[in-house]
Amino acid sequence: MTPGTELCRREDVERFYEKMVSESESFPICQKQEDRRRQTMNKERSVAYFSMEIGIDERMCTYSGGLGVLAGDTIRSAADLKVPMVAVTLLYRKGYFRQKLLADGWQEEEPAAWAVEEMLREETPRTMVFVEGRNVHLRAWRYDVKGVSGYMVPIYFLDADLPENSEWDRGLTQSLYGGDNHYRISQEVILGIGGVKMLRALGYQDIRTFHMNEGHAALLTLELLDEAAKRTGRKSVTQEDMEAVRSQCVFTTHTPVPAGHDKFAIDLARRVIGERDDFFGLEGVLYDGKILNMTYLALNLSRYINGVAKKHGEVSRLMFAGYSIEAITNGVHAATWISEPFRKLFDRHIPIWRQDNFSLRYALNIPKQEVWDAHMQAKKRLIGFVNRETGAGMDENVLTIGFARRATTYKRADLLFQDLERLRRISAETGKIQVIYAGKAHPLDQGGKELIKRIYRAKQALENDIKIAYLENYNMTLGAMITAGVDLWLNTPEPSMEVSGTSGMKAALNGIPNLSVLDGWWVEGHIEGVTGWAIGDIVQGKGEYRHHSLDAPSLYDKLEKVIVPLFYHDREWFIGLMIYSIAINGSFFNTHRMMQEYVLNAYYSR
Instruction: Please give the Cα distance from 155 to 395 (Å, whole number).
Output: 42
pLDDT of residue 288: 86
- The predicted pLDDT at position 28 comes to 41
Q: What is residue 120's predicted lDDT score, i.e. its pLDDT?
A: 96
For strand 291-293 and strand 209-213, is the pairing parallel, antiparallel, or unpaired?
Answer: unpaired
Tell me which residues of the chain have a pLDDT lower than 50: 1-29
Supply the pLDDT for residue 95: 87
Q: How far apart are CA 294 and CA 299, in angstroms?
A: 9
Could you say which of 3.40.50.2000, 3.30.930.10, 3.40.50.300, 3.90.950.20 is the CATH number of the domain covering 45-302? 3.40.50.2000
CA distance 357 to 604: 23
Determine the 3-state secondary structure of 332 from DSSP. Answer: strand
Nearest to 203 by CA among 258, 142, 263: 142
Query: Do the domains 351-589 and 45-302 match in fold?
Result: yes
What pLDDT is recorded for position 6?
33
Q: Where are the domains of the chain?
A: 1-37, 45-302, 351-589
* Exposure letters 298-330 (e unless 16+ CB within 10 A, then b): bbbbbbbbbbbbebbbbbbbebbeeeebbbbbb
DSSP states along 476-525: HHHHHHHHHH-SEEEE-PPTT--S--THHHHHHHTTPPEEEES-TTHHHH
pLDDT 10s digits, 411-427? 999 999 999 999 999 99
Q: Distance (Å, rounded) from C-alpha 567 to C-alpha 564? A: 5
pLDDT digits (tens, 9 = 90+) for 220-277: 999 999 999 999 999 999 999 999 999 999 999 998 776 678 999 999 999 999 999 9
pLDDT in tens, 397-411: 999 999 999 999 999
Integer Cα distance of 302 and 198 in angstroms: 21
Q: CATH number of the domain at 351-589, out of 3.30.43.10, 3.40.50.10800, 3.30.2320.50, 3.40.50.2000?
A: 3.40.50.2000
| pLDDT given for residue 496 in this prediction | 79
Omega before 22 cis (within 30°)?
Answer: no
Q: What angle do CA 66, 588, 208 make, to 5 degrees?
A: 70
* DSSP-assigned beta bridge partners for residue 158: 90, 140
Cβ atoms within 10 Å, residue 370: 14
- Other C-beta atoms lying within 10 Å of the C-beta of residue 7: 18
Q: What is the pTM of this model?
A: 0.91
Reduced to 3 states (helix: H, G, I; strand: E, B; else coil), residue 433 is strand
pLDDT at site 37: 63
